[in-house]
Amino acid sequence: MPKARAIEPTASAPIGYTGPSWWEQDVINLIARLLLAASAGITGWLVAKDSPNFGVVQAMLSVVLLAALVGLVALWPRKPDQS
């Protein structure tokens, strides 16, 4: 039987990093659920819910909504600096 190898840290996971905290996971989970709920509602207008490609269309619409949200935040006008 082969001997088990130890897992070595990689460049993407520094030593001592334990991952996101519980509240970060909750926030990401909330954002994902809201995006999927919104896209399910919109997809329900366009595609029959018992259609085999409903999940695919919902996922594509979720990506489009996420891109639109990121674009909106990035292009939101900011106040000029008070220098």
> Could you read off the pLDDT of 37-77 as tens digits, one per residue?
999 999 999 999 899 999 999 999 999 999 999 999 899 88
Question: How far is Cα 63 from Cα 61, in angstroms, rounded to an integer?
Answer: 5
By CB atoms closer than 10 A (0-12, 13-18, 19+), residue 30 is exposed
Helix, strand, coil shares of the chain, percent, nearest 5, are 55, 0, 45
d(CA 36, CA 10): 32
Percentage, residues of the chain above pLDDT 70: 77
Count CB-CB contacts under 10 A for residue 61.
20
